[in-house]
């Protein structure tokens, strides 16, 4: 009697219990895996965005230390090995590149700012556009005006 009762108590989980538990945990784990995948993806994107902003900022700070003619010389340059604000090549940025475009800002009679304007008369004002590109995709694009410090 005692043994039979014990056997009854150790009867364990029913198939139904196990199936329900496995199903619930399965759904949860699946959702968790998806969440992790999504999180990883978002984190990668966030990291890329941060890297891109910093790479553009490098060019921005670099440009601020250059003369206008030196900035002009950056027009059309693509740094397949990204550079820092001191102009030195950076390591650990495989697949990244910085693309620089420099355009004139012509302040005409109405003093409208013309993006990408060319021709004369020129001014000592430039528009610098930098793209941070990762594996062919533009991650961040920034544009700003730069003036010569002299006359």
Partner 1 sequence: MRNRGIAAILAMIFLVFFSVLGISFCSLATSSMHGAKNDRDAQVAMAAAESGMAFIQRTIADITMTQSQATGQAAMQAIYSKLRTLDGTATLGGQSITVNADFTTITVPAIALHANEKIAQRCTAQLTLNAADLTADRPDISLRVTGSNSNNSSFSRTLMVTLTSRDRTLEAFTYGVFAKGRVDLADGKASVIGTPASAGSIGSAYTGSTAIFLHGGDISGNVYVSGDPSVLFATNSSSGSVGGVDIHDSASLADALTHVHEIDPPTIPLFNANQFAQLDSSGTTKLAQLPRDAALFKGKAYSDVCITQDVTFAGNDVLQGLIYVKRGVTVRFNGNPTIQGVIVVEDPNLDANGVPIAGSNVTSTSTLNFLGTPIFATPVWPMDSIVPLEQQAVLADYSVLGPSAYIYISGNGGSNKEYAGFGKTVVCGTLEEYGSGMVKIRDGTLITMSDTMVTGTEGYSGYFDGDGVEIQRSPGYHAPYGGYVHLFSWVIESSTYREVTQ
Contact residues for partner 1 (CB under 8 A)? 8-9, 11-14, 17-18, 20-21, 24-25, 27-29, 31-32, 35-36, 38-39, 42-43, 45-47, 49-50, 53, 56-57, 60, 69, 105, 107, 110-116, 120-125, 127, 140-151
Contacts of 74 (CB under 8 A, 6+ apart): 59, 63, 66, 100, 102, 128
How far apart CA 34 and CA 26 sit, in angstroms, is 12
Here the tokens at position 120 are 């004369």
CB of 81 to partner 1, least distance (A): 22
Spatial contact of 108 and 127, defined as CB atoms under 8 Å apart: no
Least distance to partner 1, CB of residue 2, Å: 15
CB of 98 to partner 1, least distance (A): 15
């Amino acid at each position: 009697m005692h043994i039979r009762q014990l056997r009854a108590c150790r009867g364990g989980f029913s198939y139904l219990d196990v199936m329900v538990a496995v199903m619930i945990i399965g759904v949860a784990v699946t959702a968790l895996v998806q969440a992790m995948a999504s999180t990883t993806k978002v984190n990668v994107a966030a990291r890329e965005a941060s890297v891109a902003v910093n790479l553009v900022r490098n060019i921005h700070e670099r440009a601020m230390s250059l003369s206008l003619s030196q900035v002009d010389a950056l027009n059309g340059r693509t740094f397949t090995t990204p550079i820092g604000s001191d102009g030195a090549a950076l390591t650990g940025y495989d697949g990244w590149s910085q693309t620089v475009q420099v355009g004139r800002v012509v302040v005409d009679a109405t003093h409208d700012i013309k993006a990408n304007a060319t021709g004369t008369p020129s001014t000592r004002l430039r528009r610098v556009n930098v793209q941070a590109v990762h594996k062919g995709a533009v991650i961040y694009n920034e544009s700003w005006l730069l003036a010569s410090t002299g006359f």
